[in-house]
Structure 1
């Protein structure tokens, strides 16, 4: 079971996640106000530090292909995670974007489970993306994900059955519920952000490395 953890906010934190068995380390290089966002220079340092330890994933909530590609070249992750507003970058645009990315960079497309036509969207994006990530959606956070709540796992299970690409399950997962989620959905991987965080005084968070280790153990 592949474990993906968002969001590392430094190279040191990214390496600490890898040392606890995380396969995919998520980074949030943006300035739009997302949880745990970091500068592109910090994200690029984390990507370099992770080489040989874990795969790096950098998300984008942008809809402009040139801007997405610019960030991808600046940060250089192994995987580009597209999680903008539903339909903002359609499958045809994802296909065009692939030709704008560094050679070998893979694409992970977020699917808002519970949105209208989520199954049809997943099937369409599976034709152009290397991975899908099935996530919860809330209007409180820009893009798809970072909601910290679960969704209808039966819908996710239906998507897993319908597509031929690896699927990561996200949305409100913790050490307490991830094994149940895996049994229900049978994904290729699982993802955690909110429930592997430790709140900091004055706002913000850091990764709770004990919670991360517990999540990895429960996932496997």
Structure 2
């Protein structure tokens, strides 16, 4: 069975970055969206990314940011992957010369195959729950909306935690899972024990 990649998102503190890395996270996500309680400044992000060892990817999450805003971040923060969660089209995402993934906000009626076809350059498609505004808000969605044999690297997100991630990985077999609120004690404050339990659950599901 292939190994499911694990991204921990919305980190704001050095100790949380260290904990995620120590327990085996493959990628760490930093939120550059001012409306989020997990948002970090460019200076904060630069300090946190500097803590990452080789082969742990730095990911920047953006929501309807302008090209200038993204470039300002990239000038100071060596992000390896960009993650777009707004209304961006292919050209908006592809202009920065970095690998990128696009988030689909899942609800009844969403055709994920059609959505993916609109973003052929994406390294992967992230699926999250539809909520008002942007972001999943820690909500799960109906996993049956994900078509079998989707054919693109799938990043499963939306309300994942240590209690449901084993079932999620075994049922969906995503390329990666992405968690934020499911490993928190408060918004933007990660819980080391929850991180450890989540990652252990993914590895258990991998078999």
Instruction: Give TM-score scaled by structure 1 length.
Output: 0.82
Once residues 67 and 28 of structure 1 are traced to their aligned partners in structure 2, the CA distance between those partners, rounded to angstroms, is 13
SS of residue matched to 2:51: helix
2:140 matched to 1:150? yes
- 1:29–1:218 CA distance, 2 compared to 1 (3 A): same
Partner of 2:90: 91
Once residues 26 and 63 of structure 1 are traced to their aligned partners in structure 2, the CA distance between those partners, rounded to angstroms, is 16
Once the two structures are superposed, residues 40-83 of structure 1 have per-residue CA deviations (whole angstroms, 9 ceiling, x without a partner) of 11111111211326111110012423322332333221111111
2:172 matched to 1:169? no
- 1:162–1:62 CA distance, 2 compared to 1 (3 A): same
Once residues 131 and 45 of structure 1 are traced to their aligned partners in structure 2, the CA distance between those partners, rounded to angstroms, is 27
Partner of 1:215: 198
* Residue 133 (structure 1) shift: 1.1
Contact 1:112 1:118 in 2 (8 A): no
Q: Relative contact order: is structure 1 or structure 2 higher (C-alpha 8 Å, sep ≥ 6)?
A: 2
- 1:92–1:218 CA distance, 2 compared to 1 (3 A): same
* Residue 150 (structure 1) shift: 0.7
* Residue 207 (structure 1) shift: 0.3
2:103 matched to 1:110? yes
Aligned to 1:133, which of 126, 129, 134?
126
Once residues 45 and 205 of structure 1 are traced to their aligned partners in structure 2, the CA distance between those partners, rounded to angstroms, is 16
Aligned to 1:75, which of 77, 82, 100?
77
RMSD of Structure 2 on Structure 1 (CA): 1.9
Once residues 142 and 116 of structure 2 are traced to their aligned partners in structure 1, the CA distance between those partners, rounded to angstroms, is 15
* Residue 206 (structure 1) shift: 1.1
Contact 2:129 2:139 in 1 (8 A): yes
* Residue 33 (structure 1) shift: 2.0
SS of residue matched to 1:49: coil
Q: Which runs of 5+ in 2 are unaligned?
A: none
2:167 matched to 1:180? yes
Instruction: Give TM-score scaled by structure 2 length.
Output: 0.87
- 1:93–1:53 CA distance, 2 compared to 1 (3 A): closer
